[in-house]
Amino acid sequence: MLKGKTALVTGSTSGIGLGIAKALAAQGANIVLNGFGDVEGPKAEIAALGVQVTYHGADMSKPAEIAAMIEHAKTTFGSVDILVNNAGIQHVARVENFPIEKWDAIIAINMSSAFHATRLALPGMQAKNWGRIINVASVHGLVGSAEKSAYVAAKHGVVGLTKVTALENATTGVTCNAICPGWVLTPLVQKQVDAKAAAQGISNADATKQLLGEKEPSMQFTTPEELGALAVFFCSPAGDNIRGVAWNMDGGWTAQ
């Protein structure tokens, strides 16, 4: 379905981003990976799906590096047809104790990077009258949780950016939508499970049940594969008139 298209997925060397990149690659899209840690492993996983893959290590807190990444994508594949803004970090603390540098970093990477990548990718999409911008927000773009002020603020901002981008391109073939996952078992969330287990002296299994039980009625994690399938749906002809939604895949979290 996506043969001949190019998808740039930020924060895609692991977790949600890699899951989405693999789902788009399975539909024939060439992939631009971005992120930290192991690069060759994810590249090999994408290449095994029969598409071309490249990598750019842009620091998503730096607009100049984001611009260089978009140019790399255009130079390598000719265009950015699908942009998935997924890069994100987390820090947990009460507002009065929240480190300023952590606030600045979370706002830059979780929210401002989506703006910078979007503004740079849009002209090419508009010229072709086809494009898909998918912002990986969070259930925390729709509701709040204690001790996550920067993350919640950033993800609410991403949902707002999604709506405006969609409205500004509403009469074109360019759509913008947000995916709002609940708990997804990524390395980021695994750290929270480990910390909860250590702090309370309980097993990881019990810590997992406790974590899910607090918020997610389904008592199961959303998977990167499920999120990838939703991204593919947004890119399909069925997604042509889906514009500006914040689509929660959260096991009933926000239904409560």
**Active-site residue list:** 151
Distance CA 210, CA 185 (A): 14
Alpha carbons within 13 angstroms on the beta-carbon side of residue 52 total 10
Measured in whole angstroms, the distance separating CA 241 from the mean position of its chain's CA atoms is 21
10 Å CB burial of residue 96 (0-12, 13-18, 19+) is exposed
CA distances from 136 to 6, 74, 119, 235 (A): 18, 22, 16, 14
Distance CA 73, CA 127 (A): 16
Which residues have C-beta within 8 Å of that of residue 45, sequence separation ≥ 6? 18, 22
Give, in degrees to the nearest 5, the angle at Cα 52 between 51 and 54. 140
Helix orientation angle between 100-107 and 149-168, rounded to the nearest 10 degrees: 20
**Distance, CA of 102 to CA of 10 (rounded, Å):** 20
- Produce one character per residue of 31-53: b if its CB has 16 or more CB atoms within 10 Å, e if not: bbbbbeeeeeebbebbeebebeb
